[in-house]
Structure 1
Amino acid sequence: MHGFVRAPAAPPRRPRLPLVLRLALRELRGGLRGFGVFLACIALGVAAIAGVSSVSRSLTEGLAVEGRRILGGDVSFSLVQREASLQEQAFLKEQGRVAAIATLRAMAIAESGESALVEVKAVDGAYPMVGTVESEPAAPLAELLAARDGIHGALVDPLLLDRLGLAVGDVVRLGNARVALRARLVSEPDKIAAGVGFGPRLLMSQEGLAATGLLQPGSLVRWTYRVVLPDSSADERALARIEDEARQRLPDAGWQIRSRNNASPQFARNIERFTQFLTLVGLTALLVGGVGVANAVNAFVERKLHSIATLKSLGAPGGQVVAVYLTQVMILAAVGIVIGLAVGAAMPFAVAQAARSLLPLPLTPALAPLELAVAALYGLLTAVAFALGPLGRAHDVPVSALFRDEVDPAARKPRLRYRLTSLAAVVTLVTLALVFAYDRRVALIFIAAAAGAFLLLRLVALGLMALARRLPRPRRAAPRLALANIHRPGALTPSLVLSLGLGVTLLVTLAMIDANIRGQLTRALPARAPSFFFLDIQNGEVERFEAFLAREAPQGTVDRVPMMRGRVVSLKGIRASDYRAPEEAAWVLEGDRGITYAATPPEGATVVAGEWWPADYAGEPLVSFDRELAEHLGLTVGDRLVVNVLGRNIEARIANLRTVEWRTLGINFVMVFSPNTFAGAPHTHLATLTAKGQDARIDEGAVMRALAREFPMVTSVRVRDALDAVNDVVSQLAVAVRAASSIALAASLLVLGGALAAGHQARLHDAVVLKTLGATRARLISAFSQEYGALGLATVIFGFITGTISAYLIVTRVMRLPFSFEPGGALVAALLAVVVTVGLGLAGTWRILGQKPAPYLRNL
């Protein structure tokens, strides 16, 4: 009996990948040669955007998580120039535990006679209710601040010890009292909420502050009351309910109220603004890198001409060919995006580790999925927008033309569908930038500037090619070859001009802005600014104080005005917190402002609308308002505003608008009231001391020492020190801006290197043919040097001009500062760019010139 043999079962068929994907993956087996610049450009831009967004999210979440510690409680109530009344204190105690803090500026005077401005913070026994104060040496806060032998203690910022040459245990004079410096202040939990001060911190008890005698009627003291609620889990609605109840029960208190949810609103806004700026810088890097993507893809297509020809000869339609290579490009883009995301995601953790001991930032490092997804989308859209053009050109090219392209490249445009898809990617990229922008106006300006820069640089490239084509041919071989290389088909001119031009424009813009800001802070302002501001001059000492300055500084001019602090409660019947003010004027409605009264217009002010009140005016309260700020706030003559001063709501009518020159650093106020408005109200005086002429010199050290002896209660602020403090902040921001902008510059260099590498094959053929015809290496180097030098110099001139114009617009329109042409640093940076261009070009060319002609001549 014959048996039946069962045939072996066929193995189950694995699902096959789509043909396009299979072909793309097979092509990638050959390696990633030529895609280094492509990957670097995508990864760099994505890393910049992902990193900045992730750090920003970590800071924002840190503010939310640490809001209670930063604020020092759940709710904060702040008053200026007065303590809370018994009724107000009773209301606060109904809400929970209360800690009171007084802050003011004063002069710390060493036994040597040297003095320095300090930011005094006087606390009660309940401070701190949240967090801890760290000191060196460590000891209980109450013990360090307590009085010993009639001398109260204080914790001090080490900076004060350095300035006055003191050590822990020494004694300084503060007002009418002696204060012992018992420890260095290492950290205070609510430092961020206090903002940036002009002097080092001095932490003392309220009993010690009372002993100094600095608490006089009208003194510029801020009283802050922190409240910790019994229910620490109270939600936002509970906190908002307390704020509403405070305003309803005590409508005239005039206090500024903050909750732990907005512990430092200015800090939060600054984070958002700076994040937007850095994100735009990162987007610039990505867009510049897009040019590198286009160059790399173009070179990739050129290398794949034989493969494309083979596919088309076997019947592959043009759309399928484009799809195969677009798939490869997108896979490589995904690799670059993943690298960029990994770097960006790690950045908050790296910043937290590096800055934890240096900066009091509430950084809570964590992964930010949304921000990372947005960065990935930016990278993907950039790759699509810049890759489709070069890839799409292969669609309609016949097989014969593809084989001939190696020696006779044909100019061709991609089909309409590829151009429309690329345009759609660009539109989506623009929309994304606008949707996630903190300030859409700034984002629109950036987008318009980027589009204008790309268009202008394209026109510059075309103009250079047209000019080179029309110039008479030089007799010498090297210049003639250099000129021909600039305008020939497949020339490097468009890509080199675009990449170098963007980098130089950015470099010159930053250099000009930096030079202008530093010039304003270190040169222009001090030449015409006061040498000193004097605060808290009591009414009874005004005449004696002026006589003192006339004796100690006869070469100076003294200006003096009465000064109070007030907070805008409402404008045109709308509560200040609900008033929609533009960003450039919102600061007027935030917190308290310095205000004054005058019978005549301030010196240097010009009334441009309405009329000034008579010297003996006795009618309803009137106010003069700064014209520019009034325009931003939508105020005109006749409108009414309410200001809270010393716990009283005062309604005044705008009588006139005047111009104010803020840049002189003289005595200027947003609001100047008619004298009858504050009749009988306690206040102090503010004075300035200014050299009478440019040749006059005031001995600032001698004035400060004499002032410390005779007027220990008066606070003096040396303008030079204040400018140094501002300069330090500007310098820190400038470092951050340069660090972020260096990413865009690195992208420009990558693109420049990629553009030169993309022309490698054409340069190789040129070198081989010319060497065969007798050209020497020296002559070829000379020709290529002249080509790169001419292109670099022309592009740098354009970049210098456009960078200067951009800096002018930013300085005058955005920063509202006078512009000064400071070409030094920008010119050096621009010329350095020419050297880099020539150097990179020759570095790539040198290797080409060493190749043997025979192997390449066989393939021509």
Structure 2
Amino acid sequence: MNTFLMRLKTALRLSAREMRGGLAGFYIFLACIALGTAAIAAVNSVSTSITKSIASQGQSLLGGDLRFELTNREANDREKAFLSEFGTVSHSTGLRSMARLPDGSDQSLVEVKAVDIVYPLYGSFVAAPDKPLADLLQKQGDAYGAVAAPLLLDRLGMKLGDSLLIGSTKLVITGTITTEPDAVSEGFGFAPRLLTSGEALAASGLIQTGSLVEQVYKIKLKPGAPSLKIIQDRAKAEFPDAGWSIRTSDRAAPNLTANITRFSQFLTLVGLTALIVGGVGVANAVRAFLDSKRSVIATLKCLGAPASVVVMVYLFQIMMIAGLGIALGLAIGAVAPWIASYYLAQFLPIPADFAIYPRSLLLALMFGGLTTLAFSVMPLGHAREVPATALFREQGFETRRLPSWPYVLVAALAIAALAGLAIVTAYDRRLAIFFLIAMAASFVVLRLVAYGIAALARRSPRLPSPALRLAVGNIHRPGALTPSVILSLGLGLALLVTLSMIDGNLRNNLTGTLSEKAPNFFFVDIQRDQLDGFRQVVQQQAPQGQIVEVPMLRGRITALNGQDIAKISVPPQGRWVLRGDRGITYAKDVPKNATVTEGQWWAPDYKGEPLVSFSAQEASDLGLKIGDTVTVNVLGRNLTAKIANFRKVDWQSLSINFVMVFSPNAFAGAPHAWLATLTEPNASPQQEAAILRSVTKAFPTITSVRVKDALDMVDALVGQLAVAIRAAAAIALISSVLVLSGALAAGNRGRTHDAVVLKTLGATRPMLIRAFTYEYLLLGLATAIFALLAGSVAGWYVVSQIMKLPASFLPGVAVSTVALALVTTIGIGLAGTWRVLGQKAAPVLREL
């Protein structure tokens, strides 16, 4: 024990002395570790900041301590009495409608929210001008006051004091919305907000039988009220068929929180890619550092220093330098939420105050430390096992074989710990496992690609150009840069190609394939007595258009096979079906855009127990089979139906599709509205505008949704997400460039000897420049081809197999990838070797 402590103390002392020489040779090492650690720390810190802010501001974001939501109906007297028992209740109503100018010249889809006089229960509603909300919404003559999002005024060319119509009610715009405290809990909206009073909405005539309306009741608990859980349990026990969705202030925006967590996990994995790519740079830097210290290592061994002491000396140095890089990355990650608050404050409730999130920083610290250990142990093992005589005699380490088993074991354990940490901390562990498998496979494939390129170069015919012949020889000679270039640049480029392919195909589908197949309009909330008149209006404006109409209700799945969905473990890909309300319908015949894949459709005059046809893919995600039962709550009543068949649904068509189609007898006598689509591929923008005006003018209560507008909004959202994803991918690419630079710097010693010998034998500088340019050109081209193949396959898989969308090859991405690879390899390669070409011959020849 004393001997070990003495050796440890000696190693620490020698490490500290050698560190006095500075960080020469370790700047790329520092950058690789700092960059990857910073990415992981920043992503997780920002995510934690947002989720904790949502939790801490839960009452304001939810608009109450509890939120009860009903679809298509108001609470009855007994339910209202139950809610009022616990404190002050605020009632709001939300729906989509058409807001139109009084002269009918223009209109826009809006998200209407009608509130009562006690709104908001928590937080502050701020408008411009800054007046009490009750004053802004009060009735003025024959018109009611309303506050609108600035976007609505921009769309309709309005200003404060102007009027618009919703349904049969006239509204006067008295202000614009600055802060709506509970907007986050309301969810994402495709249209600008229009806030008015409950009296104004009641007078509009928009709330009719079967209309898609959300009735929300928020409670501010009085002192001494029961706990949130007790109230929830009582609500479920006393009103089992109410069908209301209950949310508490500690989970104010669960969908937003879950989406942020998923997205942060994805970006964390991209950051981990950057860190692992940087690990290759760590290994190169450690190997080059130990190579430069070969005379010191030889001297220590000759003076009797045990091999373990030599290893500890340089392990301490490496970990100290890594600690500096990790600390730099953690510092960047720590200030990231504070910086992000200035950009995200208008979208998300992220605080502007500086705060540190230890768990996020600890996670990044562990990833950085394990990566450093995993990639530095093997070079240390090689240094330990080389005898002193070999170090004096040779120029570097022989790394063709593995070091002794303890070093291999430590590296393997570090890699296993790294993988385990990624899986344990992941929101979706299956995704993390797939990522790690893909990462391991990429390393193996890239190594095989490097070997294949070297083998092809070795077997190439004799070339007439000396420079080209020298370039090909450099690709396969011992100590060639081929493995380093392919491994370092290939992974970053492949990731960039994958993300570019996904982004490009999504945009092509949104603006091309999907928009061509999609209907021009969706029309919602059509009453039965309006159907004939609606058809006539549409056919007058679009005589060649195809109109499809189906009955539509809203229902929430409450149980599967009699078991409460809250107690069922559902895979992530199927959870959306059980989240919130779903559109449902009934039909005598199989829908034209679907085919039955299993089971039998019911007869047109079927009168037996309620049956349901379920979408095949979603049924598979939920683990359902023919004969299982599904319980849905519609208009406050629970209905249980048996699954009769599965359908293959073409969601890509954007036509009318439903997860569940019931037998007609299931909803006999239930009040409902109708949903319709209009498809007219040849309609011009002017004709679409005329259709919209005619329908809105003739039927103010019908909501018209222009599909192109919705696709444009989704395309803008995809574009914003793509910026964040590409920024994360750029970090991985920068790590690749750093690793490439380090690999070239580490090989400069051998390049210097080669250049001096060749110049001594008569080679000119221009010839050597051409040779190096050809070499980097060939390596860059090979790397680009691999990245294109691997990235295209990965992008195709994600788009076609996961997103279930058409995927195609994008030539623009291919050209930019090849150009980026060539510019990077040739530029960095020549920059790194330019100094080598000017090296004087005498000092180098004396060392040979």
Please classify the TM superposition score into its range, dividing by the shorter chain length. Answer: over 0.9
Answering whether residue 448 of structure 2 is matched by residue 456 of structure 1, we say no
Q: CA deviation at 1:792?
A: 1.2
Alignment of 1:234-253 (within 5 A): 238-253=227-242
Q: 1:546 and 2:546 equivalent?
A: no
* Corresponding position of 1:598: 587
The one of 448, 463, 466 equivalent to 2:455 is 466
Query: Are residues 1:613 and 2:602 paired?
Result: yes
Q: How does 1:147-186 map to 2 (within 5 A)?
A: 147-186=139-178
1:597-655 deviation line (CA, Å, top 9, x unaligned)? 11111112111222222212222222111111112212222222221111111122222
What residue in structure 2 maps to residue 374 of structure 1?
Answer: 363
- Residue aligning to 1:841: 829
The CA distance in 2 between the partners of 1:354 and 1:549, in whole Å, is 44
Structure 2 counterpart of 1:46, from 33, 37, 50: 37
Matched to 1:701, the amino acid is A
Aligned-partner Cα distance in 2 for 1:417–1:165: 74
Quick one: distance in 2 between partners of 1:266 and 1:749?
A: 38
What amino acid does structure 1 have at the position aligned with 2:18? E
Matching residue within 544, 566, 569 for 1:577: 566
What is the alpha-carbon distance in structure 2 between the residues aligned to residue 420 and residue 841 of structure 1?
35
Letter matched to residue 704 of structure 2: S
Moved more, 717-726 or 764-773: 764-773
Aligned mates of 1:179, 1:371 — CA distance in 2: 49
Query: Aligned residue for 2:817?
Result: 829
Change in Cα spacing, 1:804 to 1:363, as seen in structure 2 (3 Å) is farther
Residue type at the aligned position of 2:708: R
- Shifted more, 389-398 versus 216-225: the winner is 389-398
Please, which moves more after superposition, 106-115 or 275-284?
106-115
Structure 2: runs of 5 or more not aligned = 1-5
1:652 to 616, 641, 648: 641
Residue pair 1:51, 1:348 contacting (<8 A) in 2 also = yes
| Match of residue 725 from structure 2 | 737
Match of 1:231 among 218, 223, 226: 223
In structure 2, do the counterparts of structure 1 residues 531 and 695 end up closer, same or farther at CA, with 3 Å as the change threshold?
closer
Which of 778, 782, 790 matches 1:794? Answer: 782
**In structure 1, distance between residues paired with 2:717 and 2:353:** 23
Residue number in structure 2 paired with 1:4: none
Whole-angstrom CA distance in 2 between matches of 1:751 and 1:110: 61
Superposed CA offset, 1:407-429 (max 9, x none): 89685542221111111111111
Distance 2:269 2:399 in 1: 37
Note the 1:685-700 alignment, pairs <5 A. Answer: 685-691=674-680, 699-700=687-688
1:814 is displaced (CA, Å) by 2.5
In the alignment, the residues of structure 1 paired with residue 645 and residue 298 of structure 2 have an alpha-carbon distance, to the nearest angstrom, of 79
In structure 2, the partner of 1:64 is 55
Describe the SS at the equivalent of 2:21: coil
For the residue of structure 1 that corresponds to 2:113, the secondary structure is strand
Give TM-score scaled by structure 2 length: 0.97
Say which of 189, 197, 201 aligns to 1:197.
189
Match of 1:633 among 595, 606, 622: 622
- Bigger mean CA deviation after superposition, 410-419 or 91-100: 410-419
Mind listing any 5+ residue stretches in structure 1 that lack a counterpart? 1-14
Classify the secondary structure of the residue corresponding to 1:393. helix
Give the aligned residue type for 1:109: R
Mean Cα displacement is larger for which, 824-833 or 123-132?
Answer: 824-833
Q: 2 CA distance for matches of 1:712 and 1:60?
A: 40
Task: Pick closer, same or farther for the CA change 1:471–1:330 going to 2, 3 Å.
Answer: same
Greater shift, 604-613 or 218-227, is seen at: 604-613
- Quote the residue 2:12 is aligned against: 21
CA distance in 2, matches of 1:364, 1:554: 60
Structure 1 residue 394 displacement after superposition: 1.5
Letter in 2 for 1:640: T
Structure 2: distance between partners of 1:64 and 1:775: 70
Mapped to 1, the partners of 2:96 and 2:662 lie a distance apart of: 25
The one-letter amino acid of 1:190's match is D
For residues 253 and 128 of structure 1, the distance between their equivalents in structure 2, rounded to whole angstroms, comes to 25
Residues 6-51 of structure 1 show CA distances to partners (whole Å, capped at 9, x for unaligned) of xxxxxxxxx9980011111111111111101000000111111111
The code of the aligned residue for 2:797 comes to: L
Tell me if structure 2 keeps the 8 A contact 1:605–1:661: yes
Give how far 1:349 is off: 1.4
The equivalences for 1:302-701 within 5 A come to: 302-357=291-346, 359-361=348-350, 366-406=355-395, 411-691=400-680, 699-701=687-689
Q: 1:223, 1:412 → 2: CA distance?
A: 71
Task: Check conservation: 1:41, 1:289, Cα contact below 8 A.
Answer: yes
Which residue is 1:55 aligned to? 46
Superposed CA deviations along residues 301-359 of structure 1, whole A, max 9, x for unmatched, are: 11111111111111122222122111111111111111111111111111123432454
Aligned pair partner of 1:107 in 85, 98, 112: 98
1:90-133 CA distance string (max 9 Å, x none): 00001111000100000010134200000000001111010111
| Cα contact 2:127–2:176 (8 A) shared by 1 | yes
Counterpart of 2:808? 820
> Could you give the per-residue CA deviations for residues 415-451 of structure 1, whole angstroms, max 9, x where no partner exists?
2211111111111111111111111100000000000
Residue 204 of structure 1: CA displacement? Answer: 0.3
1:787-846 alpha-carbon deviations (Å, 9 max, x no partner): 111111111111110111111111123222221222312431232211211111011111
Q: 1:365 to 1:598 in 2, by over 3 A?
A: farther
Distance (whole Å) between structure 2 residues aligned to residue 412 and residue 16 of structure 1: 28
Partner secondary structure for residue 138 of structure 1: coil
Residue matched to 1:715: 703
Instruction: Please give the per-residue CA displacement for 1:650-688, whole angstroms capped at 9, x wherever unaligned.
Output: 122222221111110000111111112222221111000
- Percent identical pairs in the alignment equals 53
Maintained 8 Å contact 2:8/2:312: no
| Alignment partners' CA distance in 2, 1:357 and 1:583 | 29
Offset at residue 172 of structure 1 (A): 0.4
The letter for the 2-side match of 1:666 is: S
Q: CA RMSD in A?
A: 1.7
